[in-house]
Amino acid sequence: MRVAAGARGENIEHLKLRLEARPPTLLLFTEPSEPLPEESKPVEMPFHHCHRDPLPPPGLTPERLHARRQLYAACAVCFVFMAGEVVGGYLAHSLAIMTDAAHLLADVGSMMGSLFSLWLSTRPATRTMTFGWHRSETLGALASVVSLWMVTGILLYLAFVRLLHSDYHIEGGAMLLTASIAVCADLLMAFVLHQAGPPHSHGSRGAEYAPLEEGPEEPLPLGNTSVRAAFVHVLGDLLQSFGVLAASILIYFKPQYKAADPISTFLFSICALGSTAPTLRDVLRILMEGTPRNVGFEPVRDTLLSVPGVRATHELHLWALTLTYHVASAHLAIDSTADPEAVLAEASSRLYSRFGFSSCTLQVEQYQPEMAQCLRCQEPPQA
């Protein structure tokens, strides 16, 4: 028994020696002698291999922050004076005043929708929404225009009914006072929404400017789409307010001419509808993936062909996510002796600097003679 116990003790001592001889990282329930390396995290490089500009900071750009402040101020002013016009129109029995109040209600709704679209556009891109949410701004502008058209259609019908039936009475004094206040309110909102923002950048990511046709000349600032649509709304309301003011002066001094109330509603509602045409045209152009304004197909094509080594271009597509966020993609057929990396860098640099594209995707491939007869490699016809 003593021999067996001694042998067992020797085995235990031998096992301890073997465990102590192992590397520390192999021991169970022991701390490693050195900390394990942490997983590498993606960091922004000072000069990235394919991105021209640094990663933009999260949140709204200075231009959009200014647009949000404009919309907040204009929405507050619009709501206060809308409530005043509802009361004044009711006391004066004036359809023209109620028409102006309804337009202000449409303005409040459109501005709130624009504020929501500005917030939504700051959300980052995902695997489903790979371009992010920039186009929500365009959808907000479309909703603003459509809402104005719907309200104006209803008021045009009411004005037509009043022209057919003359059994109504208008308080000229209350109408004149309310119309004067409405003009002041519209002037104030137009001043608040006027496109005079902070200084803009000229880089490819500074999407505050319209792209340039050629050269580094100063581009024309188009401003934020939502603010622009709201500004057009206010201009339409201002025209109508002047018409209502003129009608109220006439009715105040000549009560027998009360038909001026529905007539002014009819005429200036049509003017308000016409004022939305430019915004609606731009919105539809964006939603239909049309070529951005002030960017021509031929100038972009000629710029790409002027890059040394480029023999031909095809699959050239130009479109926009907003009025100022422009995108381009193209295939470049190059000579066999040309350096693809140099051609890609030069072509991208020229598109960014001359046209202000926010995103460019170029595919470089070797030129083949049969490309001249390929139907898919031909340029699209003139519209």
Q: Which tens digits make up the pLDDT trace of 133-173?
A: 888 878 877 887 887 788 788 878 888 888 888 777 788 88
For residue 197, pLDDT over 60 is answered with: no
Nearest of 95, 114, 103 to residue 223 by alpha carbon: 114
Whole-angstrom CA distances from 87 to 90, 91, 106, 317, 330 are: 5, 6, 17, 53, 59
The pLDDT of residue 260 is 86
Query: CB count, 10 Å around CB of 120?
Result: 16
Classified as helix, coil or strand, 81 is helix
Q: Which pTM value belongs to this model?
A: 0.66
For residue 42, pLDDT over 80 is answered with: no
Nearest of 154, 141, 67, 150 to residue 110 by alpha carbon: 141
The pLDDT of residue 332 is 95
Q: Which domains does the chain have, with CATH numbers?
A: 62-196+225-288 (1.20.1510), 297-373 (3.30.70.1350)
Please state, for a pLDDT cut of 90, what percent of the chain lies above it: 20
Calculate the average pLDDT of the chain. Answer: 75
The pLDDT of residue 206 is 35
Residue 329 banded pLDDT, cuts 50, 70, 90 = very high
Tell which wins on pLDDT, 218 or 95. Answer: 95
Torsion, CA 100, CA 105, CA 108, CA 112, rounded to 10: -150
Q: Which tens digits make up the pLDDT trace of 330-357?
A: 999 999 999 999 999 999 999 999 998 9
